[in-house]
């Protein structure tokens, strides 16, 4: 029994010591909470929305660009010709709509009236001719003075004249009434479609310039002038350095000592004496297995929580992927309330 106690007691002491060291692994001698992680920034891949040959590439890798700055342009010769064509079509359609709204001119109505009067005169002449032939035939012996064919021709001419008169009268009526409301609506819809087409072409012209969405640094130049651009092919890859943060991980024991908004100090191996100010901006609600990027051996198999420490790196000393050490002072931990606000 004594031998078993001699073996078990030291083992229990070793386990207790290991647990204590594990919980204290994230603290340095001063009592500050120390986290290890890597610098992280957002990246964006820029591509043209249209497919055309690239005309110009204006920036190189490593250049700092401002929001709205033109980075590259497309060949727009075909697009500009299409815009001119669309403008001409709009001008023609506008005149068509204006003509429909104005209706018939007085001269057109007068012309239609004159044609109708001429048709009426032709009907009167044909009727007179037919009556004359019928009278001659009735008064001649045996009706042989006028043949039946002459009477049929005169009757046919009268019917043709009457049909032409009816046609001319209807044309006069239409000229006096003016165009139909449906025709005006159709012309206006066609004009609206033409204007929408022009707006689309002008939008495509504006999209032929690739602009930086915000201040950033050019990480990669992926195409060159003469290459065929498309929405599926990125032209530049930009690194957006604001905001910039350090992605670190804490275990469950350390989780209770940090809150969003707490101040932090970030250092790197290359400049350990020049810390960068930061603050805790995000703490994950979900535990995960420790990523391989975490530097401490004690946490490689533990469940941890992701923490993002936002930094104000005005001198751009922190680079993407750079290992960094985050220190959170115990004094600041004590000065943060449970809701994450400073006391």
Question: 39 near 319, Cβ under 8 Å?
Answer: yes
C-alpha distances in Å from residue 121, one per residue of 12, 13, 113, 255, 336? 130, 131, 12, 107, 107
Model pLDDT, residue 20: 43
What pLDDT band is residue 233 in, cutting at 50, 70 and 90? very high
Residue 198: is it exposed, middle or buried by C-beta count within 10 angstroms (0-12/13-18/19+)? middle
**pTM greater than 0.75:** no
User: Which two three-digit tokens encode residue 258?
Assistant: 């940090």
Say which DSSP state 320 is in: T
User: Scanning the structure block, which residue is given the tokens 């709509």?
Assistant: 97
Question: 39 near 293, Cβ under 8 Å?
Answer: no
Is residue 338's pLDDT more than 60? no
Model pLDDT, residue 91: 95
Is residue 235's pLDDT more than 50? yes
Say which DSSP state 140 is in: S
Question: 62 near 218, Cβ under 8 Å?
Answer: yes
Question: 281 near 308, Cβ under 8 Å?
Answer: yes
Average pLDDT, the chain: 82
Nearest Cα to Cα of residue 106 among 202, 176, 206, 188: 176
User: Which two three-digit tokens encode residue 189?
Assistant: 């819809």
Q: What is the 3-state secondary structure (H, E, C) of 241-274?
A: EEEEEEEEEECHHHHCCCCCCCEEEEECCCCCCC
The residue ranking higher by pLDDT, 199 or 137, is 199
Distance CA 180, CA 108 (A): 17
* Element housing 217 (H / E): strand 216-221
Model pLDDT, residue 218: 93
The residue ranking higher by pLDDT, 3 or 140, is 140
Residues 6+ apart with CB under 8 A from 267: 273, 274, 275, 276, 324, 325, 327
CA atoms within 13 A on the CB side of 285: 0
- Phi first, then psi: give them for residue 41, nearest 5 degrees: -140, 160
Model pLDDT, residue 23: 45
Biggest distance spanned by C-alpha atoms of the chain = 167
Model pLDDT, residue 295: 52
* Residues 311-333 pLDDT 10s: 988 777 888 888 999 988 765 55
């Amino acid at each position: 029994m004594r031998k078993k106690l001699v073996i078990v007691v030291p083992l229990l002491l070793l386990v207790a010591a290991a647990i204590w060291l594990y919980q204290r692994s994230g603290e340095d001698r001063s009592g500050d909470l120390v986290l290890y992680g890597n610098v992280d920034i957002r990246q964006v891949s820029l591509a043209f929305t249209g497919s055309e040959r690239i005309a110009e590439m204006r920036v190189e890798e490593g250049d700092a660009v401002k929001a709205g700055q033109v980075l590259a342009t497309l060949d727009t010769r075909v697009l500009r010709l299409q815009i001119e064509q669309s403008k001409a079509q709009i001008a023609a359609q506008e005149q068509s709509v204006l003509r429909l709204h104005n209706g018939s001119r007085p001269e057109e109505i007068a012309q239609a009236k004159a044609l109708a009067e001429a048709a009426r005169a032709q009907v009167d002449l044909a009727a007179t001719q037919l009556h004359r032939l019928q009278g001659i035939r009735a008064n001649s012996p045996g009706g042989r003075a006028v043949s039946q064919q002459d009477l049929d021709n005169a009757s046919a001419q009268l019917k043709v004249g009457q049909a032409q008169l009816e046609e001319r009268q209807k044309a006069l009526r239409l000229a006096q009434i003016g165009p139909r409301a449906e025709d005006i609506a159709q012309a206006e819809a066609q004009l609206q479609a033409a204007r929408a087409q022009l707006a689309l072409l002008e939008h495509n012209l504006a999209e032929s310039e690739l602009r930086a969405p915000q201040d950033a640094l050019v990480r990669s130049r992926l195409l060159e002038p003469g290459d065929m651009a498309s929405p599926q092919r990125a032209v530049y890859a930009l690194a957006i350095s604001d905001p910039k943060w350090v992605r670190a991980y804490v275990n469950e024991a350390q989780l209770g000592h940090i809150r969003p908004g707490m101040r932090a100090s970030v250092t790197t191996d290359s400049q350990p004496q020049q810390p960068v100010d930061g603050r805790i901006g995000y703490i994950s609600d979900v535990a995960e297995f420790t990523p391989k990027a975490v530097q401490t051996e004690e946490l490689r198999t533990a469940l941890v929580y992701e923490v993002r420490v936002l930094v104000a790196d005005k001198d751009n000393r922190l680079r993407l992927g750079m290992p960094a050490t985050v220190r959170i002072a115990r004094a600041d931990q004590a000065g943060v309330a449970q809701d994450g606000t400073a006391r």
